[in-house]
Amino acid sequence: MDKGWGLALDCDPHISFNKPSSAPVLDSFFKIKKNLDVPDSVKMFPFPVTVSRRDDHASPSAADDNRVVVGEVDFFSDSKNIAVSDNRNDDDESKATCVTVKKENSYGEAAPRSSLHVNTGLHLLTANTGSDQSTVDDGVSSDVDDKRSKSELAQLQVELQRMNVENQRLRDMLSQVTNNYNALQMHLVALMQQQQQQQQQQQNHGTEANQEHEVVQVKPEEKKHEVVPRQFLDLGPSAETDEMSHSSSDERTRSATPLANMETASVKNSANQENSSFRDGKRIGREESPDSGSQGWNHSKVQKLNSPPSKGIDQSTEATMRKARVSVRARSEAPMITDGCQWRKYGQKMAKGNPCPRAYYRCTMAVGCPVRKQVQRCADDRTILITTYEGSHNHPLPPAAVAMASTTTAAASMLLSGSMSSADGLMNPNLLARAILPCSSSMATISASAPFPTVTLDLTHNPNSQQVLRPPTHLQVPFAGQPQNFASVTAPQLPQVFGQALYNQSKFSGLQLSQEMGSSQLHHQSQPQQLQPAQQPSLVDTVNAATAAITADPNFTAALAAAISSIISGANGNATTSNNNGNITNNTSNRN
């Protein structure tokens, strides 16, 4: 009988997620993110509401039903199987959960259609049994069948309740993460303000910087959302203004404008790309490269063009601004991680100190897209794939690609912002780390020592082992979300690590906040610490279950990065996502 699947699935959700299609998982992942982002105005208290809902799941209200459906469906599936639940069950909650279970199974088992039928039967029985003993007896089914089905239904209900509780706990975790993030961001803004004030005092000659400071020196809480985004916006233009004023000679010089282009200079890029004649079979020599690679790897040429010391901008600042990279470390057997973009390999080199060659890829999803990436295996651990992104896409992207693009853009933007907002061209790495990945800061590594700042998203190490691999110049934060080896590690392995990491992260965030801030802003976050001790074991399990589904997808690297970046972007006034959109919009409008 097929009905066994439901129980098996409930008991071990990992199994059901072994073979998910990447897209649904990613979608679900992003939907979760969106749920986080959507309530921008209510950002500080989005989840407690949602979470509390689960506790009172005994009361089946209409509103509750809505939320339940959204939450359940978003997390595990993308379809509208609700239609399948044709049973007129009064218990809304159980109905919603049934839908969820069905979806899980559809992922895990290769029984898309048949499972639906089976489920329908179960639902009908569930409805009857769940509501009351008033079983509609056809007279056809025997008592034995009734009893069996009832017992199964009871088990199902128990499992469903358990899943509901787990879902609620997941939401708890998310809310905690969100809250911690918000608090961290506020902290970041405050620190940035302090830094900038100090620097402003120290160097009074900073003309353009003053405008920036004025903007920054607004006020506490609402600023948090406005200030940071505005910094990005202001920084870009200011940088460009400098660039243009200094070198109005040619377009290529603009390309020297570092990652500010990512945020604001997309118009120019589009113009450049519009002019660049990529169409004639191939690119027209290197002359065009600077255009296309304005934000890319062509720093050497850029440097050459910008090298004249006559520039007013500090050289070190420019060097810092010149390039910002986002490096993703992930365990993978695959030659490179799937990030949703189309890449063309244009070179390969043997890097010093690494027996594994470094491959150079260029985005080919659009003509003239400046985004490039390097793929290289870690010399120490060849199972670790290091993918370094640079540049910003100038074209629409599929969701999976938007994920990574948002990550790179967000991280680069933060780096750029830090560079720009700091007098000496280098922002405090600690601040950057927190700014870029406040929710999973332990995964973020910022290297400010490099010629170009690099953000490293480390998805490979346990918190314990992570410390070892880092050069001292890198900032380390004691938490890592580490889907171990996406390609080869079995699903059950993943959630443990990641779940623990998530727990640790939440815990860490709370501690850090309490230590560093200790301000009244964080009072509302005392909740996490209350929850932790009692819920720790089940939290891990809960997160494990959800993580199993997510991490089973080989694109999890991109998805995770996307989630992180999307959180960043959402907090930064949609700096990244909207940025991408903004780029596209600008390009379009510019062409017209």
Partner DNA sequence: CGGCTTTGACCAGCGC
Partner DNA sequence: GCGCTGGTCAAAGCCG
Binding site for DNA (CB under 7 A): 282-283, 285-286, 289, 293, 296-298, 300-301, 303-304, 307, 319, 342-353, 358-360, 364, 372, 374, 451
Phi-psi region of 519 (alpha: psi -120 to 50; beta: other; left: phi over 0): beta
Residue 72's DSSP bridge partners are: none
Q: How far is the CB of 451 from DNA (least distance, A)?
A: 6
Separation CA 368–CA 440 (nearest Å): 33
Q: How far is the CB of 214 from DNA (least distance, A)?
A: 34
- Whether 196 and 100 have beta carbons less than 8 Å apart is answered as no
Of residues 319 and 446, the one with the C-beta less far from DNA: 319
Phi-psi region of 314 (alpha: psi -120 to 50; beta: other; left: phi over 0): beta
**In this structure, how many other beta carbons lie within 10 angstroms of the beta carbon of residue 22?**
17
Of residues 141 and 354, the one with the C-beta less far from DNA: 354
Q: How far is the CB of 349 from DNA (least distance, A)?
A: 5
Of residues 185 and 327, the one with the C-beta less far from DNA: 327
Of residues 19 and 349, the one with the C-beta less far from DNA: 349
Separation CA 359–CA 387 (nearest Å): 10
Residue 173 token pair? 């975790």
Q: How far is the CB of 320 from DNA (least distance, A)?
A: 12
Radius of gyration of the chain from Cα atoms? 26
Q: How far is the CB of 285 from DNA (least distance, A)?
A: 5
Q: How far is the CB of 456 from DNA (least distance, A)?
A: 14
Of residues 223 and 329, the one with the C-beta less far from DNA: 329
Q: How far is the CB of 305 from DNA (least distance, A)?
A: 8
Of residues 316 and 526, the one with the C-beta less far from DNA: 316
The three-state secondary structure class of 248 is coil
- Whether 499 and 547 have beta carbons less than 8 Å apart is answered as yes
Of residues 282 and 523, the one with the C-beta less far from DNA: 282
Alpha-carbon separation of residue 45 from 52, 494, 522 (angstroms)? 12, 30, 12
Of residues 220 and 451, the one with the C-beta less far from DNA: 451
Strand 357-363, strand 454-458: pairing:
unpaired
Separation CA 458–CA 439 (nearest Å): 14
Q: Shortest CA distance to 251 belongs to which of 316, 285, 301?
A: 301
Q: How far is the CB of 283 from DNA (least distance, A)?
A: 6
Of residues 219 and 352, the one with the C-beta less far from DNA: 352
Q: How far is the CB of 348 from DNA (least distance, A)?
A: 3
Strand 343-350, strand 357-363: pairing:
antiparallel
Order of strands, edge to edge, in the sheet holding 372-377? 343-350, 357-363, 372-377, 384-390, 325-331, 454-458, 444-447
Alpha-carbon separation of residue 29 from 182, 249, 358, 532 (angstroms)? 20, 46, 31, 24
